[in-house]
Structure 1
């Protein structure tokens, strides 16, 4: 996805504390007659959808509470309002694939443009720095001119997008939005972060990993100074000599300090009335602009991985911008070799990669045959974003087997894949990955641009693939299991959700964890967040009525 700092979320809304938001949603979960919706046997193929995907839920018996909640889910499966309330109230893990500037709501972006005195181009709806020249208008007009507001809303997001009327593809419109609001997005990352985390809390998520670009522009200065050397060892030596990389790391950390301070102020974290966002832990994934020159890409990768090893707020590296771009295609294997080289030097930096965000017709057939395999085998990817073209990969069964064996998760943003690539339903590999034992997590990608929430993604998965409650629950669990949080997992074995010995025998949410378990949670941040979600599941399941 794009290179400029990105952020966006959903539509404007009143933010409620998580407990109140959950209560409001659960108020709609009134008992319904069991015959009001499809039976458990019929739900496997709703609207001709593929059979429900297999996964961890198939190997671990459901509890009595889970069976009761699943029975309720069957009664609301074809009642959109009640299904939405159910999924909104259900705990949904963490977000692992979200670009900050694409996650923030378009409404907030427009308000920030007005506050900062920016301008909007009349022809393209692109935000411009002041002063406003001929052919542009003050962004403050967005507050009073409804026609202008709607035009900008459509230009900066997928709102009301119709490819026939627009004369462009969903792919092109989606990626173009970032250039149109880019002048806004870089100015207030902390305020955008506050909105994104408030929305996460509102939709019952417990953790966020957000992509943004550190020290943007500073890499160009270093690249211009040292040039490009195809010998990666020599290139690495050049960019780290005389403290050059250390200076970039300091710049990025200073930026993170500023962002965090702005976030805490916007969310009122240090007051007596903190917003829900303050309780949601987050980490940054550093973006690398894959359409840049080899020198800049290598410098950005090195910075990202150095940050991940020196500052706990940064956890990983990812390549962004369209995978079908001219340079991205030309240099794909070179980029994987760069990651292979740097992985040996920064072994504690995590790697997650956009790979397989392609379809036939978007690129030549040869470009569909190796991207995912190269990302996993050469690029050392621990997670893959999108992975839509897996069926086109050479020896895709072997690729799937490798991913399953290595526990390489796929971050699946169903709405984004539909909007950008036109892939959905049976054509999407969601079920294929799960059938092969590859971990799958649902993601939003750019929820502000897409005009969705994570609850919408769970609703789409439920409607399309006929998922059971236990399958939805394990998707939420997987999103935390595959998070790049510090420490050990709560679970004894990957993909099988039984607690480690220190916390065995205690159901989260029923009582305070015993001393041994409390000590384990205190020293393992990942396990602590997973425990928090399990406690939320316990409370949620107790509020869902039995069908009658």
Structure 2
């Protein structure tokens, strides 16, 4: 599933000139503008529109509540008496999830609401619960059903990506076999001066994690491939999606635990090419995360020096005025960039940073991209529409791309992120196309880019004349990133040549 060489080379047999602008791009742009006010037709168009990569996608949050409940029912699990979470059985018959699904659909619906953010997207969640608290508390509520099911969720992640016409995903995923190392961290404090000693102490145990973790992911991918019928005539479209992984450090835990989670990620990413980077997750407004933010940055700087080939993306600026005091909005993004982040996840509070102009200029200059999560920011932070910084970043030359964050808990998908981008952010077809290209250009996929100097439409010399040229094929075979980019361009070409399917009976795209 990760290598699409045969698919790409088959497609390359079709004639396609290298320049990125096609004669039908203007027609696609006009069609999207006509559809912008018609939600149904817009969804149909954007569902089919090619998309690049999803670079900010948590495996644990990608699962819909209904899928957790199916697994829970099969395991004989129950709802608690308050219908607020999944718990282990046995239990009275009326709390058995399997029975509830068949005999008591209204209570079953209450349980779905309890373990997801259903309703919060439209402002109809419970008035006494914020979207922020509902979102982050959901993970504890469905946790028992999630245990041991990563292979199933991985298959679902591939399927969702294929259904939404993505070609690439960087999935945040920590193999279960690495968790005991993290949780067995010693008690006691850890400060920046103690990081070197902690590294010497913990490195042998971290290195011992690599082989079991790689074997675990091998099994998960094999299960997903079988579940999606990859290689068969009726293979799921997700089989054609390339996927790599991002390991996540856990910022809301004691310093020794955070350190071990980060070390495990760097060591694994250094050895397993499927793990292309390290991130840091959990609520940024958590008191421990706020207290230890500078310490976490010091950990990143130390490990980046030890493992210079490992790339870093950080959740930073997932904060909003009112969620935390203004002083906590002053510098997280700037510090993340200064500590080696090549991408920023969320970046919502950039306008409140004291050195925002300098940070934005540096991000633009160094190509530090922002993973934009529109549904997530609306539900969790209440930031949407004109308040969202998407246009601020673009106006300052900072590259951005759309991503899903936790599509299952948030009740969204990548196409919905594009719908929001059009209807709430006023983006046009050319903008969406640029963001899709950004998602591959600024991905951590290995190899060189298809584009010379990051100028879209200006292909590197081997592919300048024709993607089907022998020189280009040889280049693509050696460079996964360029291969994915070429596939996206060919997908755009096919899409823009088949616009008639979106016209209504009168030959128009709008109402």
The residue that corresponds to 1:535 in the other structure is 490
The residue that corresponds to 1:132 in the other structure is 90
Q: 3-state SS of the aligned residue for 1:231?
A: helix
The residue that corresponds to 2:99 in the other structure is 141
Q: Which runs of 5+ in 2 are unaligned?
A: 1-6, 8-18
1:129-208 matches, within 5 Å, as 129=88, 131-133=89-91, 137-144=95-102, 145-161=104-120, 165-208=126-169
The residue that corresponds to 2:462 in the other structure is 502
Report deviation, 1:524: 0.4
1:233-382 matches, within 5 Å, as 233-240=196-203, 243-269=204-230, 271-378=232-339, 380-382=340-342
Report deviation, 1:122: 2.4
Give the TM-score, by structure 2 length: 0.90
The residue that corresponds to 1:473 in the other structure is 433
Q: 3-state SS of the aligned residue for 1:465?
A: coil
Report deviation, 1:538: 0.4
Report deviation, 1:164: 6.6
Report deviation, 1:137: 2.5
Q: 3-state SS of the aligned residue for 2:209?
A: helix
Q: 3-state SS of the aligned residue for 2:497?
A: helix
Alpha-carbon contact 1:121-1:135 (below 8 Å) kept: no
**Structure 1 208/272 Cα, relative in aligned 2: closer, same or farther at 3 Å?**
same
Distance in 1 between residues matched to 2:260 and 2:303, nearest whole Å: 11
Report deviation, 1:497: 3.5
Q: 3-state SS of the aligned residue for 2:60?
A: helix
1:240-289 Cα offsets, whole Å, 9 max, x none, are 1xx31122223322321232222122212254532222211111111111
The residue that corresponds to 1:213 in the other structure is 174
Alpha-carbon contact 1:223-1:296 (below 8 Å) kept: yes
Report deviation, 1:226: 9.5
Q: 3-state SS of the aligned residue for 2:424?
A: helix
Report deviation, 1:452: 1.3
Q: 3-state SS of the aligned residue for 1:68?
A: helix
Distance in 1 between residues matched to 2:94 and 2:396, nearest whole Å: 53
Q: 3-state SS of the aligned residue for 1:64?
A: coil
Asked whether 1:436 is paired with 2:396, we answer: yes
**Structure 1 528/173 Cα, relative in aligned 2: closer, same or farther at 3 Å?**
same
Alpha-carbon contact 1:357-1:387 (below 8 Å) kept: yes
Distance in 1 between residues matched to 2:171 and 2:69, nearest whole Å: 21
1:294-334 Cα offsets, whole Å, 9 max, x none, are 11111111110111110011111111110000100000010
Distance in 1 between residues matched to 2:275 and 2:94, nearest whole Å: 38
Q: Which runs of 5+ in 1 are unaligned?
A: 1-17, 19-59
**Structure 1 225/182 Cα, relative in aligned 2: closer, same or farther at 3 Å?**
same
The residue that corresponds to 1:103 in the other structure is 62
| Count of residues in correspondence between the two structures | 481
Distance in 2 between residues matched to 1:245 and 1:226, nearest whole Å: 19
Distance in 2 between residues matched to 1:163 and 1:406, nearest whole Å: 41
1:392-541 matches, within 5 Å, as 392-506=352-466, 513-541=468-496
Distance in 2 between residues matched to 1:480 and 1:333, nearest whole Å: 30
Give the TM-score, by structure 1 length: 0.84
